[in-house]
Amino acid sequence: MPELPEVETIANGVNARVRGRRITAVWTSSKPQTFKSPETEIASTLTGSRIESVRRVGKTIVMTIRLEPTLRSAKDGPPRTAEFLIHLGMTGRLLVCTPEMPVAPHTHAVLTLDDAREVRFVDPRRFGRLSIHHTDAAEESAGTITKSGRQQKFAGYAGPGSEPLAISLDDFVALFHNRRTPIKAALLNQSLLHGVGNIYADEALFRAGIRPTRQAARISHEELKKLRAALVAVLKQAIKLGGSSVSDYVDADGVRGFFQLRHKVYQRTGEPCRACRTPIKRMTLAGRGTHFCPTCQK
DNA sequence: ACTATGTCCTGCGAGC
DNA sequence: TGCTCGCAGGACATAG
């Protein structure tokens, strides 16, 4: 399932391949749940626009596009850009293809580029979502929340959470203050941290030596320090290896990642712990399969 | 304000 | 061998 490292890999790959290209045509399937914005809006906004950049925010791929001049409204200042948001859900793929490549089943959107290549969104399980985010001043300022007296800013689509690769230790520790939920559930909560999913939550907790069931508020400062370091390390290493291909994840060129070979607990139920040989245990926590070493994780 | 649980969706693998 | 059935999970809705 695409989490931060997988989404980062895909966004970087797509960016390198299509940045600067113009979108000449847009096709969408008619699977309504895939489209958070109306299909007609997505098609009309993207058609004729130029791709400025593709990047990752949390688990979302953000394609910034410069709008076709004819679509700009003359009166209240031209909206220069918009953002095409692609959330891959469980099984979503974003592929840069040449036109002769066969169109995969469950293809829900195809953006044709001015050099005839295509950006295709494929998603068998349809947990993915496509939408247009209009970047106007009103929405920029709307992303303000008050939390324990402090104000925090965030982009309208990004939500209130922090990027795990950018957050300071103090802010990281503060996320779990007074939180009675299990630490793993807190790690998965996107309004606390962006981009951590089931694989990297399990892997980071193993590397930090912390049981996934421990109540977040009861984890010591020292352990949280270890957890942050473990999370950063595991995410960075996974990005370096092109992500984890556990179900059907592939990058923008359809190439699999390699981090699954480095998993220490995820989907290793019954196999010996790489540190102490104790069989890895599996349980359900927060509705998710959860893997841990009963010896190494306290 | 938090927290927990159900729902969506299809492919795949376990089990008979 | 061929079939059925349960499981996989990110985000959101809803309930407590």
Q: Known catalytic residue: A2?
A: yes
Given pLDDT bands bounded at 50, 70 and 90, which one contains residue A148? Answer: very low
Residue at minimal CA–C1' distance from B3? A181
Contact indicator for A31, A121 with CB cutoff of 8 Å: no
Residue A198 CB in 7 A reach of strand C: yes
Catalytic position from the list A36, A117, A179, A288:
A288
Given pLDDT bands bounded at 50, 70 and 90, which one contains residue A159? Answer: confident
CB within 7 A of strand B (chain A, 51-70): none
Residue at minimal CA–C1' distance from B9? A125
Q: Is the pLDDT of residue A111 over 90?
A: yes
Q: Known catalytic residue: A225?
A: no
Q: Known catalytic residue: A140?
A: no
What pLDDT is stored for residue A247 in this prediction? 72
Given pLDDT bands bounded at 50, 70 and 90, which one contains residue A248? Answer: confident
Q: Is the pLDDT of residue A206 over 50?
A: yes
Query: Closest nucleotide to A2's CA, by C1' atom?
Result: C10
Distance CA A50, CA A268 (A): 44
CA A19 to the chain's CA centroid: 20
pLDDT in tens, A279-290: 999 999 999 999
Contact indicator for A189, A226 with CB cutoff of 8 Å: no
Say which residue the tokens 């977040």 belong to: A216
Residue A124 CB in 7 A reach of strand B: yes
| CA to C1' distance (Å), from A127 to C5 | 22
A150-171 average pLDDT score: 76
pLDDT in tens, A58-82: 999 999 999 976 555 555 566 589 9
Given pLDDT bands bounded at 50, 70 and 90, which one contains residue A261? Answer: confident
Q: Is the pLDDT of residue A19 over 70?
A: yes
Distance CA A210, CA A227 (A): 8
Residue A233 CB in 7 A reach of strand B: no
Contact indicator for A107, A120 with CB cutoff of 8 Å: yes
Residue A284 CB in 7 A reach of strand C: yes
Least confident of A94-108, A150-164, A178-192, A220-234: A150-164
Q: Known catalytic residue: A288?
A: yes
Distance CA A44, CA A37 (A): 11
Of residues A157 and A40, the one with the higher pLDDT is A40
Catalytic position from the list A3, A8, A83, A203:
A3
Q: Is the pLDDT of residue A138 over 80?
A: no
| CA to C1' distance (Å), from A69 to C8 | 45
Given pLDDT bands bounded at 50, 70 and 90, which one contains residue A291? Answer: very high
